[in-house]
Amino acid sequence: MKIPPPAFRVFEKISATCGRQELILPQSLIVAGVSGGVDSMLLLSFLQYYQQKTAFDLLACHLNHGIRKGEADLDEALVKAYCDQYSIPFVPVREDVPAFAKGSGLGLEEAGRMVRRQVFDRVAAGYEEKKAFRGGSRIALAHHLDDRAESILMHMGRGAGLRGLIGIRYLDGPLIRPLLDIRRDELVEAARALGLPWREDASNLSDAFLRNRIRLELMPAWEKTLGYDPAPLLVRLGALAEKDDDALTSLAADHFRQLRLPDGSLSLTGLAALPEALASRVLQQYCGWSQNRESGPQPLSLAQIEVLTGLVASVTSGGKKEARLSLAGGITALMRDGRLWLEDKA
């Protein structure tokens, strides 16, 4: 595979990211989410290149989301043609994301993210049933450095905590993002050098979506006001926040093990003695540990964490004899007799 110099420099930079973050394991399955845009097409091309360095199975998955009707069909056709040309296994999936968004009460962006994740997980699981992959399976997404900076700004605007300041992680469960150290203009330059086909999504220019407004209006205005490009510094902020969050999460895991009682409940007095930053993480970890459900654990919102910690303090101080709080999915948190536990109506 002959790589022109502009693309080779970018590919080597991405390779260094993959090695440093251990994103692609030998003898694994990598399901690449490929929309047909320039970033995902470059991701797919890089993964072909990286197969020369590490042995893994590559599969391209395209979600036709039904948002742009005929345009979406052309996106699918482009990705299929590329995969056919290079003998890359290709799985197209069609889902009506607008209908899902309407039925679930979610915004179109959030519904799209949820459906994409479900589709990619399902495709990966289906291939793992057919073949055992010693390195397991991961889903490669094409988020890049500018996406991470925009996500951090978006989360800041929503009043997110430390975890929100991280923005997008290189490795998040089964999700990997090999392009996270690459700027958008670097991707375009490399794709042009390679002669890659791609399609521009007209919805990326619409001000109906918050992320677009951040990218097209807020970031340029901030750069003009500050006199420098804020994206790399926002990403540095995210990296620092990630280190702090990882340390706090690790400490919380130690406390969680210490506070968990033989019957599976949590010690209220031990929980109340923790700093709020640790107590909130212990509660999240306990929530994930105790909910053995097919749909997966329901994470606690910031508002629920605040109410729970307030109730814990009230019960342990004697202000209340007992307390309860209804959580998502029919779960109820109960506090009395020095213990906190969750009950599922199901």
Q: Mind listing the domains of the chain with CATH numbers?
A: 5-226 (3.40.50.620), 260-344 (3.30.465.60)
C-alpha to C-alpha distance for 148 and 156, rounded to whole angstroms = 12
Amino acid identity of 43? Answer: L
pLDDT value of residue 1: 66
> How confident is residue 296, by pLDDT bands cut at 50, 70 and 90?
very low
What is the token pair recorded at 3?
């790589």
What are the pLDDT digits (tens) for 137-157? 999 999 999 999 999 999 999
Q: Long-range contacts for 122-131 (Cβ within 8 Å, ≥24 apart)?
A: 123/31, 123/59, 123/61, 123/91, 123/93, 124/29, 124/31, 124/174, 127/29, 127/31, 127/57, 127/59, 128/29, 131/29, 131/57
Residues with Cβ within 8 Å of 188's Cβ and at least 6 positions away in sequence, in order, are 38
pTM of the model: 0.88
Rounded mean pLDDT, 9-32: 97
C-alpha to C-alpha distance for 65 and 203, rounded to whole angstroms = 13
Residue 209 has pLDDT above 50, yes or no: yes
Residue 113 has pLDDT above 90, yes or no: no
Rounded mean pLDDT, 160-168: 91
pLDDT value of residue 346: 59
What is the token pair recorded at 136?
């397991």
pLDDT value of residue 295: 43
What is the token pair recorded at 141?
């997404």
In this structure, the chain runs to a length of 346
Question: Is the sign of the CA dihedral 15, 47, 201, 171 positive or negative?
Answer: negative
Residues with Cβ within 8 Å of 221's Cβ and at least 6 positions away in sequence, in order, are none
pLDDT value of residue 107: 80
Phi and psi torsions of 83, nearest 5°:
-65, -40
Average pLDDT taken over every residue of the chain: 91
Determine the number of helices (DSSP H) and then strands (DSSP E) in the chain.
14, 10
> How confident is residue 298, by pLDDT bands cut at 50, 70 and 90?
low
From 167-181, 202-216, 303-317, the region with the lowest mean pLDDT: 202-216
Residue 297 has pLDDT above 60, yes or no: no
What are the pLDDT digits (tens) for 60-104? 999 988 777 778 889 999 999 999 999 999 999 998 888 888 888
C-alpha to C-alpha distance for 233 and 31, rounded to whole angstroms = 31
Q: 30 vs 296, which has greater pLDDT?
A: 30
The C-alpha R_g of the chain, in whole angstroms, comes to 23
Residue 299 has pLDDT above 80, yes or no: no
pLDDT value of residue 37: 95
Rounded mean pLDDT, 234-256: 96
Residue 291 has pLDDT above 70, yes or no: no
C-alpha to C-alpha distance for 288 and 299, rounded to whole angstroms = 7
What is the token pair recorded at 337?
């007799």
C-alpha to C-alpha distance for 179 and 195, rounded to whole angstroms = 19
